[in-house]
Amino acid sequence: MNIHPAKEFMEDVWGAEGDFIDTPLGRGRIENVRTKAGIDLEVRVDFGGRDVGTSSGMRVFSGLKLFEFHVSNTSK
C-alpha cells in the first residue's frame, strides 16, 4: 500500500501523545493532538520549561508545518 507521506506523518502524529518530536524550536514532547479544519492537526509540544516565548514552555504547531520541517530535515 502506497500512502501519501503527509498522510502517513499525520497518522503517526495523531497517536503520538507523550512521544518526542523535532520542531523548528528544538526537540519537545507531544502533549496534545487535536483536529483542525481540513486535513491539518494542532500539535501542542512541551519543551520542558525551556524558553520558547511562552510562560508555559509549550507551543502549538500545525501538523502540516511540522511535516514540512520533517521533510526539509530528512532530505539533507
Spell out the domain ranges in the chain: 5-74
Question: Among 15-19, 31-35, 58-62, 72-76, which is the least confidently predicted range?
Answer: 72-76
The predicted structure's pLDDT at residue 75: 67
The predicted structure's pLDDT at residue 56: 83
Residue 57's alpha-carbon distances to 45, 54, 74, 76, in angstroms, are: 9, 5, 26, 29
Q: Over the chain, what is the mean pLDDT?
A: 89
DSSP alpha helix (H) spans, 1-76: 5-14, 63-74
The predicted structure's pLDDT at residue 6: 87
pLDDT of 40 over the 60 cut: yes
The predicted structure's pLDDT at residue 76: 58
Sole residue written with cell 479544519:
37
